[in-house]
Amino acid sequence: MTGPDARPLLEVAGVSVRFGALVALNQVSLGICGGEILAIIGPNGAGKTTLLNAISGFYHPYEGRIVFDGKDRTHLKPPDVAALGIARTFQNVALFKGMSVLDNLMTGRLLKMKGSFLLEALYWGPARRQELEHRAFVEHIIDFLEIQAIRKTAAGRLPYGLQKRVELGRALAAEPELLLLDEPMAGMNVEEKEDMCRFILDVNGEFGTTIALIEHDMGVVMDISDRVAVLDYGRKIADGAPEQVRKDPAVRDAYLGVSHD
């Protein structure tokens, strides 16, 4: 197992995000170390997805800095963020519903594809070689996620749990260093959740990918994450090992809602 390094892969320093008068994130600072699984938890509206969106470049912070791999990239746009090696999945599945699973995964490779429009259109020479290489890579992901049987099925026809898995596959196809998962297990049954947990742990273990995930199922969070960060009303109120966070009275008040006696 590859344990987390000390080096922070991503550093969020004093980031605030505002929508008009609404402060969604208030001076949040958070480091994500290379190789770790970080869970971000918090009640609804705490700013978890906003934080992910800020990291992946959908929102730009009103103050603060985001440093990835030692370089400041607070103001990059989403495609540039993706090119740096940050991939994500969405809370509501965002696949191309009419396209096959295979084609959906191939879109995850788009950033890695070079070459001219004409050669691509003719499927000739380097374009053909390149396509085959990418296809081989995608096939490894299909094997890894055990979705061989649905390779040619249109994504929109799949049950929800499988769509989530395909979306994870598309993110993996970009060979990310940092993977952001927005509620990867929402709406799944127990068996699908177990499968997803196993895939997340395997991605982390086999590829050494750093993972930040938002999740509401506390059992899952406690089981798979190395570290848990808790947000409440746009502020970070706790950050530490799962056991430590679970015992933190501020977290109980804000999130778990357990009265402490």
Partner 1 sequence: MDPQALEPDRDTFPRLVRHNAEHRGHKVAIREKDYGIWQSYTWREYFAEARLIALGLAALGFTRGDKTAIIGDNRPQLYWTVMASQALGGVPVPIYQDSIEKETQYIIDHAEVRFAVVEDQEQVDKLLHIKAQCPYLEHIIYDDPRGMRGYSEPFLMGLAELQELGKKFEVGHPTYFDDELARGKPDDVAIICYTSGTTGVPKGAMLSHRNLIVTARNAAEFEGLQSDEQILSYLPMAWVGDHIFSYAQSIVTGFAINCPESAATVLHDLKEIGPTYFFAPPRIWENILTNVMVRLEDCAWPKRKLVHFFLELAQDIERARLNRQPVPAWRRLLYPLGRLFVYGPLRDNLGMRRIRRAYTAGEAIGPEIFVFFRALGVNVKQIYGMTEASVFITVQKNGDVRLDTAGTPIPGVELRISPEGEVLYRSPGVFLGYYKNPEATRQTVEDGWVHSGDAGIVGHDGDLRIIDRAKDVGRLADGTLFAPKYLENKLKFSQYIKEAVCIGQGRPFVTALINIDLAAGGNWAERRNIAYTSYTDLSQKPEVYDLIHQEVERVNRSLAEDEALRGARIRRFLILHKELDPDDEEITRTRKVRRGYIAQKYAALIEALYGDREHVEVEAKVTYEDGRTGTIRADVRIRDVAVPGDSVSP
List residues binding partner 1 (CB under 8 A). 1, 135-136, 139-140, 142-144, 146, 148-149, 151, 198, 202, 205-206
Q: Please, what is the minimum distance in Å from the beta carbon of residue 58 to partner 1?
A: 33
* Rounded Cα distance, 236 and 15, in Å: 11
- Closer CB to partner 1, 189 or 244, in the complex: 189
- Closer CB to partner 1, 152 or 260, in the complex: 152
Dig out the tokens for 17 from the structure: 């995000």
Compute φ and ψ for 38, nearest 5 degrees: -110, 130
- Asked whether 29 and 12 are in contact (CB, 8 A), the reply is yes
* Rounded Cα distance, 173 and 199, in Å: 14
- Asked whether 37 and 205 are in contact (CB, 8 A), the reply is no
Could you tell me whether strands 210-214 and 37-41 are parallel, antiparallel, or unpaired per DSSP bridges? parallel
- Closer CB to partner 1, 199 or 255, in the complex: 199
Could you tell me whether strands 63-68 and 178-182 are parallel, antiparallel, or unpaired per DSSP bridges? unpaired
- Closer CB to partner 1, 142 or 251, in the complex: 142
